[in-house]
Amino acid sequence: MANETTVAEAAPAKAHGNGHENGHGHHPTGWRRWLFSTNHKDIGTMYIVLSLVAALVGGAMSFLIRLELAEPGIQYNLFWLDNEAAYLQFYNVLVTGHGFIMVFFVVMPAMIGGFGNWFVPLLIGAPDMAFPRMNNISFWLLAASLVLLLIAAFTQGGPGTGWTVYPPLSNAEFHPGAAVDLGILSLHLAGASSVLGAVNFITTIFNMRAPGLVIHRMPLFVWAILVTAFLLLLAIPVLAGALTMLLTDRNFGTAFFDAARGGDPVLWQQLFWFFGHPEVYIIIIPAFGIISQVISTFSKKPIFGYLGMAYAMVFIGFVGFIVWAHHLYTSGLDVDTRAYFVSATLIIAVPTGIKIFSWLATMWGGSIDFRTPMLFACGFIFLFVMGGVTGVALANAGMDIAFHDTYFVVAHFHYVMAIAAVFAMFAGFYYWIGKMSGRQYPRVLARVHFWMFFIGVNVVFFPQHFLGMAGMPRRIPDYPDAYAGWNYVSSVGSYLTTASTLLFFYIIWRTLRSGEKVAANQWGEGATTLEWTVDSPAPFHTHEDLPDMREKQPAE
């Protein structure tokens, strides 16, 4: 008994001793600082860098797709491939790779891994994440996953299955070779990374809030990351199970998805979309969080209807798990099943509507500074509403007969989820880059970037509504000549978008190299959250003395 007491007392003292040493100038430098990092800010920075690198790859893929589609015919001499079949497979790999990279290696790392790691501890007054070493593993698993995916793309023709990887096309019979297997392993690693990250965020947010920062006073970005972490925790294992079944189908003679041997290809679609639909909310809910912080700051008002905003996200997360089969309206589901999924899917419009109107009400009566982050937030609202109303149309299984698998769907999800998320990422970047780097971004160039990007993406995606209504299918490298006009317009938009992305990389370089220094709170009276109370750039260790939130007014 006595012995145990001694050990228990000694352990915390020792731990404290180590923490003390590391905290004052003894942290690793050089490559050790990054490879072995357990610091939430360094890991956040690495996630953002990974996202930027992946964005170049995924963006280049979309640019190649738009070049191919700029005019009718196969442009395979664009890619210096002599064999037309090889090129057509390569085109499908581009479509697949663009989806995977943008979802798993651009948006998720930037918003959850990047901004989440950087700002959740800062916003809740915690010194770091709950499990700093697990945090390190989360990042490096994702880096390995990206490498595997890129290897897969150049292995034996690459995976030309679309990001949905539907069997039988993804079976060994139709995709022999290691490409799809490598892709599956890549997703397994990305999934493990996400689940570890999710566990880390949930533990941190539940247990490490500053005294007085009760759940119902947490900033909405923290709420968003909390909801997202739960979605990841529940959705990723289903994907992992489905991927494992596909892997054993391909390599070990099982027949989960092989109809000829008693399996069912549609089972894969059910499992994939049971993960896949929450996945799109995993992408957009952190965006909601960022937009809420930005709008509140620049309107110089607390968020309108705070509790409604928080629980709208919880509700969206919950409903996200019971609407997956609206991706399967043309798979031959029973009509009553489809009727249920129509009704459930339409419901999503209510909490998302609450969010839109609460943002507008937050701005109403405000004294709004239209700085670059706020411009991106307004752009986000526009895109999200545009994509939202087409989503209401697509929710109807009867209507979906006309829209399913056409460019209308491509336009819809890029508006509501993909480009909207990217707008939130840009808003977050311009909002927090001062805190992360201590430097001011070039103001005029940032505005130019916003307008180029905003116009560019609308020119890309708005005409795709027309193409879809006229009946142009997705995922095709060539189209009947009637679709040439709007496809050309869409491609011109992608040139502008690509140019604006290059400008963004120049802006990053300018900011880091010659941006002026910024104060701890660069945004003034509207910026009331805890990250603005620490220096800019945020020191290596922050909140070593927990901030006391008991005296402050409730956030609601």
Partner 1 sequence: MLRILKLIVLVPVLAALSLMLGTGDVFAAGRAEPWQMWFQPAATPVMERILEFHNLLLIIEVSIVVFVLAIMCYIIFRFNAKSNPVPSKTTHNTLLEVIWTGVPLFILIIIAIPSLKLLYYADKVQDAEMTLKVTGNQWYWNYSYPDHGGFAFDSIIVPNAELKKGQPRLLTVDNPVVLPARTNIRLLLTSADVIHNWAVPAFGVKLDTVGGRINETWVNINKEGDYYGMCSELCGVNHAFMPIHVKAVSKADFAIWVKKAKKDFADVEVPAAAKLAQADAPAVAR
Contact 440, 511 (CB under 8 A): yes
Catalytic residue positions? 98, 128, 163, 193-194, 277, 279, 281, 292, 326-327, 352, 355, 474
CB of 450 to partner 1, least distance (A): 14
CB of 389 to partner 1, least distance (A): 4
Alpha carbon 29 to chain centroid, angstroms? 30
CB of 363 to partner 1, least distance (A): 5
231 vs 523: CA distance, rounded Å: 32
CB of 413 to partner 1, least distance (A): 16
Alpha carbon 442 to chain centroid, angstroms? 26
For residues 24, 28, 33, 35, the Cα torsion angle rounded to the nearest 10 degrees is: -130
CB of 439 to partner 1, least distance (A): 24
89 vs 109: CA distance, rounded Å: 28
Which CB, 198 or 457, lies closer to partner 1?
457
Residue where the block lists tokens 């370089």: 509
Q: What are phi and psi of 439, to 5 degrees?
A: -120, 150
Alpha carbon 278 to chain centroid, angstroms? 12
State the CB neighbour count (10 A cutoff) for residue 268. 24
326 vs 222: CA distance, rounded Å: 29
125 Rama class: left (phi>0) / alpha (psi -120 to 50) / beta: left
- Please name the residues in contact with 151: beta carbons below 8 A apart, sequence gap of 6 or more: 182
156 vs 154: CA distance, rounded Å: 7
101 Rama class: left (phi>0) / alpha (psi -120 to 50) / beta: alpha
Which CB, 241 or 305, lies closer to partner 1?
305
What Cα–Cα distance (Å) separates residue 505 from each residue in 52, 78, 498, 509, 510?
A: 9, 25, 11, 6, 9
Q: Is 537 helix (H, G, I), strand (E, B) or coil?
A: coil
Contact 273, 321 (CB under 8 A): no
